[in-house]
Amino acid sequence: MATATVTRQPLFSRPRPSHKGAWSWITTVDHKRIGVLYGFTAFGFFLIGGLEALLIRAQLARPNGHILNANQYDQVFTMHGLTMIFLVVMPLSAAFFNYLIPLMIGARDVAFPRLNAFSYWVFLFGGLFLYSSFLLGGAPNGGWFGYAPLSVQKVTGSVPFLHNMDYYAIGLIILGIASTVSAVNLAVTIINMRAPGMSFFRMPVFIWMAFIVQLLLVFALPVVTVALFLLLFDRILGTSFYIASNGGDPVLWQHLFWLFGHPEVYILILPAMGIVSEILPTFSRKPLFGYPVVVLSGIAIGFMGWGVWAHHMFATGLGPVANSAFAVSTMFIAVPTGVKIFNWIATMWGGRLRFDPPLLFSIGFIAMFVIGGLSGVTHSIVPSDYQQTDTYYVVAHFHYVLFGGSIFGLFAGIYYWWPKIFGRILNNRIGKWHFWLMLIGFNVTFGPFHILGLQGMPRRIYTYPANMGWDFWNMVSTIGSFMIAGSVLLFMYNAWHSRKHGEIAGNDPWDARTIEWMTTSPPPEHNFDEIPVVHALDDFWHKKYVEDKSGKLVPVPSGGATEEAEHHPEQHEEAHGGGHGIHLPSPSYMPVLAGLGLPIIGYGLIYGYYICIVGGLILLGGLYGWAFEPGTE
Amino acid sequence: MAQQATAVEVHQTSTGIENTKLAMWVFLGSECLLFGALISVFLLYRNHSLGGARLHDVYDIPFTSVSSFVLLMSSLTMVLALAAIQRGDQHRLRVWLLATALLGMTFISGQVYEFTIFVHKGFTVHSSVAGASFFILTSFHGAHVTVGILMLLSLFGMSTRGMLPQEKATAVEYVGLYWHFVDIVWIVIFTLVYLIPAPK
Amino acid sequence: MERRSLGRLARPAIILALIFLGTACASHAPQDYLHHLAGSEARSASRLFTPVFWIAAFVFFFVEGLVVFAAVKFRDRPGREEPKQIHGNSALELTWTAIPALILAVVAVPTVLTIFSVAAKPGPNQVKIHVVGHQWWWEYQYVGTNPEVITANELVLPVNKPAYFTLDSVDVIHSFWVPKLSGKQDVVPGRTNTLEFTPFETGEYYGQCTEYCSLSHANMRLRVIVKTQADFDAWLQQQQAPAAQPTTTQAQQGQQIFMSNICITCHTIAGTQASGQVGPNLTHFASRGTFAGSMFDNTPANVDAWIHQTSLLKPGVIMPRFGCGETNYQPPAGFHCISDADIQSIVAYLESLK
């Protein structure tokens, strides 16, 4: 039987491979470019979310504020939460995953490059869809975890809110699709595309944490997707899944949401933990202390995170038995988290610490996360949580772990890998100013929230009267928020300034440990001229240094790579692409085209089902074009 | 050179499983949670009929059993389709692919017919939250079956145009995996929703 | 920055930290739940929180101390050698896994015991109240009273007697919270939650809805007034009387205007034709010190302004703005505004409803 010559009839002709111009970015399937796209887009949303925060703080600086009215405030705080979680921390983590996973495991790209691009575009379109609500009748205003039945209400008191929460439900479903698809992609990449010799326990901790995150996404997102669909049906079909008067149960929403919501917070923190686990060894010049334990703790957190969801619901009336069970499970999830912290400190201990911005932010991460973690443990003391929940004390907790934790960790990663991505090092001095201003501003902003919470200030109030004792710390907090804003401006200046004036990085500016530092900065499109063969954890470090009998470092005379080729010629053949040259996936219009279909379907669900058909056709057309277009020309 | 597929990159994977197959398994894992959540909602609300029509007043177990059997048979034809392409038999491949799609369409038609009866008898998406849970669960399943049918027909079309050679048998295998999963979900739904008697 | 300044920063940092803690302890906010607690549940919660807080504080200083110490001691200095490449230590791993686990296990026991001890249990010697949450006010029905006492926003309780609450909502989830007396409990439509606590000191306590319920969530406040048993009994008796008959001409006029207006479709005044269930029961309106979800003190000027402007003052309320000449306002169909003089009469009437 003759091999059929595949006559390809792509729907659109293939874009010409090019590295210049807007179209090259729109049609790219290169994981590094997609990572950069994720990073810049997420940062843009960070600025918007930050502006929303400043508005909130301006409104709450004084009692009976008049910066925002109640309706505006409700939309701003809801969008602030949605933005920071779904449009900043998750995509910023995705930026790192996309850029670094192939490089750190020694692959040339992810398993499904076009699917990767599709994830990005769906994320962007989902975020734009969500924000378009401001111009189309009003943004979501039910809080980021949208409790029912408020989220089903179309008229609140005397004010109609026709579509605000439609944007919430549909927007999050679209964003969920982006994340699910990306998670499948990256999970397969990590499982299947590691360099020769890189067993699971020779993977960097960042890759482990990334892997756990992908699995958490894959299993948690469907649950919230169901929750969101049921919400959408209650809103547009008139069902009563969450309406008590018609046989439904509002608490069902909470269970479904938090079953996703709790793994979600581990999705938000594990990337930063992975980043910090890479930076600390490099800047301490000694290995991560207790690598297997740190990895196993991450896995434990991944599993245990499924068993604590109702700690968000202690005051909902689940009863003492349920509350007790979740109190205990919540307390015990603190154990693997604490273990990691001790291992990080032990990594620093006895090291030779170079206080460049990556290390500063990493230490800031540890310091702030400890505070957030401790306040979290106090939440698990259920009778006390009956007081704390829904007050600023909880707002303090999650900002310490999400900002002090995730954001600081992500900034550490930005400073660390910026040279690899852009070829230039961010300015050290400005970076240190950024760090200190951000650290101090952060604590000035969120430290007082503990006090305000203990003084009985509830969450999500657009104003407060003057005789509650809350005036002083609210004002202090607002001042802090502007310090944070200043620090972000410093960072942006640093980034812009380093384009022309940043020190040229070279392959390995930090004398690092993992294999992405073996290639050029920035890496070539194919990542590695020669896929490295991995013999140990921190393989690159061991090419540069060996340990003598007393555990002291001895630099290796250069020439490690050629020795490799002599000792393991077959693995190196394979690493060279088996002698067939390097095939890279070709750019494509299909991901962005298919992605465009989704928000259009979304608008159709709100404004007219015929629009859904248009969106559906675009989606289907894009998918078919994609399926019949070969991955590589 | 004859072994080398020009269009498809043949990667050596760390586990030996092909990327696309692994991706399908991971995706199906995600789908387990999706249907798990939907089934849980149904189980929670199955008795919340608010005095209106209840599922076990309107359903027809024999009819649904036939429908289920049809879907089950479609899994068999799917296996036969895969066997056909693996031994290079394009003709049989198309026969069994078409049979699978037709059986799937029969199942969907049966569902649609069943639902019109239910609606006629007052058991609807709006009659109660029990009704809503039932219809949402089965509709999500039906949508998955429909997507599967589209994929089967696409494979069929590809085969007629010579775009599905023996080397691409894995494409049929992935669609098969998906199809079997959708079938298994139906077995779970049929058991929990129809067969387990509701308390009085 | 990192070398010399770390030491120099220590002193001002410690001073700041003490100020921080000092202000936390010094301030007496009326909804503060650590100090001057007057209810059984609040005290139980505080008794758990305090030791856990100190354990957490100890852990905080210990861990952060380690971080700061490591940062200072092991910073790179010229001439420093490459560090020893330590990969791990099983004994340490075991220790810092076991000790936190042990501490938590110890903390878990009183926690679980307290969860059960504060759980609401209906009993004979309790004042029983059915709380209904509305957007954006609180309704209280005193269970077992005959005639039934239904009031709003201000809850009156006898001291040293357990108060047992059943909680429900007519619209969305709210949360009933009076920090100095008790932890909060959500008020969920379709589900009857329960709460129990005993107030130990007479006085007036502030509370607030603590589950976001849109627009005027911030304005859905409440007061709990704890009286001696004798005062409470007197109050209850007064509340059980039908509405007072107005004695002044203005108040009588106000009653007439009230009863011929749409007011009666939303409000109840026992013994009159006003029997609406949508808004708060006004039978003994003048006996309350605050109104509109305890947003305003109950003064004639405030009530006057309220009737004029309602949703301008409290966003989202369905009570129309009755003032004539309200700009930017779409009144409901079939509506007619009330003149300033007439509103004054209504105020006089309402303030006569003791």
What the block records as the tokens of A563 is 């020795």
Instruction: Quote the minimal CA–CA distance from B78 to chain A in Å.
Output: 21
Per-residue pLDDT at A581: 65
> Is domain A28-585 in CATH 1.20.210.10, yes or no?
yes
Residue C1: per-residue pLDDT = 44
End-to-end CA distance of chain B: 69
**Cis previous bond, A144, omega within 30:** no
Q: Average pLDDT for residues C110-137, to the nearest whole number?
A: 96
Q: Do chains A and B touch (3 or more CB pairs under 8 A)?
A: yes
Q: What is the pLDDT of residue C24?
A: 54
Residues 600-619 of A with CB under 8 A from B: none
In this complex, is the C-beta atom of C24 within 8 Å of any C-beta atom belonging to chain A? Answer: yes
Q: Which of A185, A198, A256 sits opposite B37 (nearest CB)?
A: A256
Distance from C192 to chain A by nearest Cα, in Å? 8
Number of domains in chain B: 1
User: C15 pLDDT exceeds 80?
Assistant: no
> pLDDT per residue over C29-48, tens digit each?
899 999 899 999 999 999 99
| C contact residues 307-326, partner A, Cβ 8 Å cutoff | 311, 315-318
Tens digits of residue pLDDT in C315-353? 999 999 999 987 788 888 878 899 999 999 999 999 999
Residue B118 maps to a domain: yes
Instruction: Quickly state the pLDDT bin for B53 (edges 50, 70, 90).
Output: confident
Instruction: Convert A16-41 to b/e letters by CB count within 10 Å (16 or more is b).
Output: eeeeeeeebebbbbbbbbbbbbbbeb
Q: Which residues of A touch B50 (CB under 8 A)?
A: 246-247
Shortest distance, CA A56 to any CA of chain B (angstroms):
36
Mean pLDDT of chain C: 92
- Residue C97 to chain A, least CA–CA distance (Å): 6
Instruction: Determine contact: A2 vs chain B, CB below 8 A.
Output: no
Q: A402-411, A576-585, B138-147, C13-22: which has the minimum mean pLDDT?
A: A576-585
pTM of structure: 0.93
Residue range A13-26: mean pLDDT, rounded: 80
pLDDT averaged over every residue in chain A: 92
**Model pLDDT, residue B55:** 87
**Band of pLDDT at residue B86, cut at 50, 70 and 90:** very high
pLDDT grade for A281, boundaries at 50, 70 and 90: very high
Under a CB-based contact definition with an 8 Å cutoff, are residues B141 and B110 in contact?
Answer: no
Instruction: Give Cα A190 to chain centroid, integer Å.
Output: 17
B13 in a structural domain: no
CB pairs under 8 A between A and C: 323
Touch of C by B (3+ CB pairs closer than 8 Å): no
Per-residue confidence (pLDDT) for residue C236, from 0 to 100: 96
Cα dihedral A267/A272/A274/A277 (nearest 10): -150
pLDDT at A573 over 50: no
| Nearest CA-CA distance, residue A308 and chain C, Å | 15
- Taking residues A31-47, what's their average pLDDT? 97
pLDDT tens-digit map of B129-163? 999 999 999 999 999 999 999 999 999 999 999 98
Question: What confidence tens digit (pLDDT) does each residue in A5-18 have?
Answer: 444 544 556 776 66
Alpha-carbon gap: C109 to the closest alpha carbon of chain A (Å): 9
User: Of A157-161, A243-247, B104-108, which one has max mean pLDDT?
Assistant: B104-108
Tell me the C-alpha distance between C10 and C18, whole Å.
Answer: 12
Nearest-by-Cβ selection for C76 from A350, A354, A458: A354
- Greatest extent of chain B over all pairs of C-alpha atoms, in Å: 70
| pLDDT at position A565 | 44
- Judged on CB neighbours under 10 Å (0-12, 13-18, 19+), A243 is buried
Sorted by sequence, the CB contacts under 8 Å of residue C271 that are 6+ apart come out as C242, C243, C283
Mutate one of A1, A6, A221 to test the B interface: name it (highest B CB count within 10 A).
Answer: A6
Q: Do domains C1-22+30-73+93-227 and C249-350 have the same CATH topology?
A: yes
Rounded to two decimals, the ipTM of the complex is 0.93
Mean pLDDT of A290-316: 96
Q: Give the whole-number percent of chain A exceeding pLDDT 90.
A: 87
The three-class DSSP label of residue A461 is coil
Interchain CB contact of A428 with C (< 8 Å)? no
Q: Per-domain residue ranges for chain C?
A: 1-22+30-73+93-227, 249-350
Going by pLDDT thresholds of 50, 70 and 90, the confidence category of residue C9 is low
Express each pLDDT in A40-60 by its tens digit: 999 999 999 999 999 999 999
Q: Residue A426 carries which DSSP code?
A: P
Residues from chain A contacting residue C293 (CB–CB below 8 Å): none
B8 touches chain A (CB under 8 A): yes
CA distance C94 to A208: 22
Instruction: Determine C/A contact with 3+ CB pairs under 8 A as the test.
Output: yes
Interface subset of A 199-218, CB within 8 angstroms of B? 218
Q: What is the mean pLDDT of residues A3-30?
A: 71
Note down the domain range covering B69.
19-43+57-195
Q: Are C96 and A323 within 8 A, CB to CB?
A: no
Task: Name the A residues in 552-571 with CB < 8 Å from any C CB.
Answer: 552-553
Interface membership of C2 toward A (CB under 8 Å): yes
B189 touching chain A per CB within 8 A? no
Q: How far lies C134's CA from each of A68, A115, A433, C167, C171, in Å?
A: 24, 48, 50, 11, 6
Q: What is the CATH number of the domain that holds B164?
A: 1.20.120.80
Q: Report the pLDDT value the prediction gives residue A78, as an integer from 0 to 100.
A: 98
Contacts of A346 (CB under 8 A, 6+ apart): A289, A290, C86, C89, C92
Q: For residue B200, tell me if it sits in a domain.
A: no
- Name residues 350-369 of chain A within 8 A of C (Cβ): 350-355, 360, 363, 366-367
Cβ of B129 within 8 Å of Cβ of A240? The answer is yes
Q: Does B34 touch chain A (CB under 8 A)?
A: yes
Interface check for B88 against chain A (CB to CB < 8 A): the answer is yes
Question: Closest Cα of chain B to A185: distance in Å?
Answer: 7
Cβ distance of A184 and B23 shorter than 8 Å:
yes
| The pLDDT of residue C296 | 96
Average pLDDT, chain B: 91
Q: Classify burial at C47, counting beta carbons within 10 Å of its beta carbon; exposed 0-12, middle 13-18, buried 19 or more.
A: middle
What pLDDT does residue A563 have? Answer: 44
Nearest one of B94, B89, B83, B84 to B160, comparing CA atoms: B94
Query: How far apart (Å, rounded) are the C-alpha atoms in residues A33 and A102?
Result: 13
Output the six-digit token pair for C11: 């002193």
Touching check for C96 and chain A: CB below 8 Å?
Answer: yes
B191 interface with A at CB cutoff 8 Å:
no
Of A99, A146, A89, the C-alpha closest to A123 is A89
- The whole-number pLDDT of residue A394 equals 97
* pLDDT per position as a tens digit, A132-145: 999 999 999 999 99
* Domains of chain A, residue spans: 28-585
Q: Residue B143 falls within a domain, yes or no?
A: yes
- Contact flag A241-B132 (C-beta cutoff 8 Å): yes
* A355 to chain C, closest Cα gap in Å: 7
The answer, yes or no, to whether residue A3 has pLDDT greater than 80, is: no
Interchain contact B89–A (C-beta under 8 A): no
Closest approach of chain A CAs to the CA of C85, in angstroms?
5
Overall average pLDDT of the C104-109 stretch: 96
The verdict on a CB contact (< 8 Å) between C52 and A284 is no
Q: Which of A402-406, A571-575, B97-101, C156-160 has the lowest mean pLDDT?
A: A571-575
Residue C16: what pLDDT? 67
The highest-level CATH class for domain C1-22+30-73+93-227 is mainly beta
Q: How many CB atoms lie within 10 A of CB B174?
A: 18
Query: What is the per-residue pLDDT across A519-537, written as a single tens digit (0 to 9) for each?
Result: 999 999 999 988 999 999 9
Q: Is B10 on the interface with A (CB under 8 A)?
A: no
**In this predicted model, what pLDDT tens digit does every residue of A167-185 receive, in sequence order?**
999 999 999 999 999 999 9
Contact status of C9 with chain A (Cβ, < 8 Å): no
Q: Taking 80 as the threshold, does the pLDDT of residue B8 lie above it?
A: no
Q: What is the percentage of chain C residues whose pLDDT exceeds 90?
A: 83
In the three-class reduction of DSSP (H, G, I as helix; E, B as strand; rest coil), residue A470 is classed as coil
Each residue's pLDDT tens digit, C169-204: 999 999 999 999 999 999 999 999 999 999 999 999
- Structure token pair of residue C81: 């050698």
Q: How many inter-chain contacts (A to B, CB under 8 Å) are there? A: 126
d(CA A109, CA C160): 71
Question: What integer is the mean pLDDT of A324-345?
Answer: 96
CATH number of C249-350: 2.60.40.420
